[in-house]
Structure 1
Amino acid sequence: MSRFKYDETAFKPNQREAALALVEREFTPTKERKTKDQIAEDCGISRMTLHRWETGDPNFIAYKNHLASQFIDTKLPFVYSKLLDSIKSGSTKSIELYLKRIGDLNDQSELTITDKSNTMSHEERKKALLARLEKES
């Protein structure tokens, strides 16, 4: 089920075709892209109508986002393979992401710092830790 809510019965003529063409345009290399004028012409609508749908028709926008989401979902195996490559190369950020993905690490995890020298106060250690975490992000 799509997280983008749209009503197929409310589509105007040529909206499905136009939404698909706009999504394809976004995933096509720049040099090979159709212009929005070409898309409008191919769909038998004016460029102004296409613009109104793109910017002011929530149902059309939701459908277009649904189509884009479906396309991105097809790339998930590639994304996971790159994540695993990054883990193999020792990326701690990737390892953290993987552990969060499988549920072994969450934002509620507890971090214990053992500082035997005890030269820094709790607040100083906290600030230093937050600064290091900020750098890694």
Structure 2
Amino acid sequence: METIDSLKERLTVQQLQAVELLVENEFAGKNKRTQDEIANEVGVSRMTLFSWRTENADFIEYFRRKADERLNAMSVMVDAKLISLIDGSQWNNGIPSARAIDIFYRRFGLYPEHKKVLSIESEKSLDIDEMKRQIEEMRKKRKN
């Protein structure tokens, strides 16, 4: 797999700036900027920015990796919030959140294995005599 540094080397200064602004924009919430605003700040047209985002494989991959870095950096904060919900120290009047505990166990794969039992319904229903006959056949097979 190609390193982020080798991708970075193949991008222009404007493309690198655009990636940083686009990643920041993805996490901006209600304060998102338009593509025109980002393009203007970088010094290119909106169509050039669009072309980079949709046709330039290095730009697309570098953007994805930078967004992943940003998201991964937030995982520490998210985990800390999850723990505070579990211990009840800051939320819910000191009562641990059952949902947060569930999320914690799922995140770390701590739930025991569960087996699902499937029920197959027969199109025909058996009368009591037929069921007894089948049970007797199974008993005979077990003895053999």
Distance 1:111 1:9, change over 3 A: same
| Structure 1 stretches of at least 4 aligned residues deviating more than 6 Å after TM superposition | 1-6
Select the residue among 104, 115, 119 that pairs with 1:123: 119
Unpaired segments of 5 or more residues in structure 1?
114-121, 125-137
Q: Percent identity?
A: 28
Which residue identity lines up with residue 45 of structure 2 in the other structure? S
Q: Which residue of 1 aligns with 2:72?
A: 73
Which residue identity lines up with residue 56 of structure 2 in the other structure? D
Cα offset, 1:103, TM superposition: 4.4
Q: Which residue of 2 aligns with 1:102?
A: 108
Q: Which residue of 1 aligns with 2:142?
A: none
- What is the rounded CA distance, in whole Å, between the counterparts of 2:16 and 2:75 in structure 1? 25
Cα offset, 1:104, TM superposition: 3.3
Q: Which residue of 2 aligns with 1:49?
A: 48
Q: Secondary structure at the match of 1:45?
A: coil
Higher RCO (CA < 8 A, seq sep 6+): 1
Distance 1:37 1:63, change over 3 A: same
Given the two structures, how large is their TM-score scaled by the length of structure 1?
0.62
Count of aligned positions = 111
- What is the rounded CA distance, in whole Å, between the counterparts of 2:51 and 2:116 in structure 1? 55
- What is the rounded CA distance, in whole Å, between the counterparts of 1:45 and 1:98 in structure 2? 45
Cα offset, 1:100, TM superposition: 4.3
Given the two structures, how large is their TM-score scaled by the length of structure 2?
0.60
Which residue identity lines up with residue 90 of structure 1 in the other structure? A
Q: Secondary structure at the match of 1:63?
A: helix
Cα offset, 1:81, TM superposition: 2.8
Equivalent runs, 1:1-137 vs 2, <5 Å: 7-30=7-30, 32-84=31-83, 85=85, 88-91=96-99, 94-105=100-111, 109-111=113-115, 123=119
Q: Secondary structure at the match of 1:17?
A: helix
Unpaired segments of 5 or more residues in structure 2?
88-95, 121-144
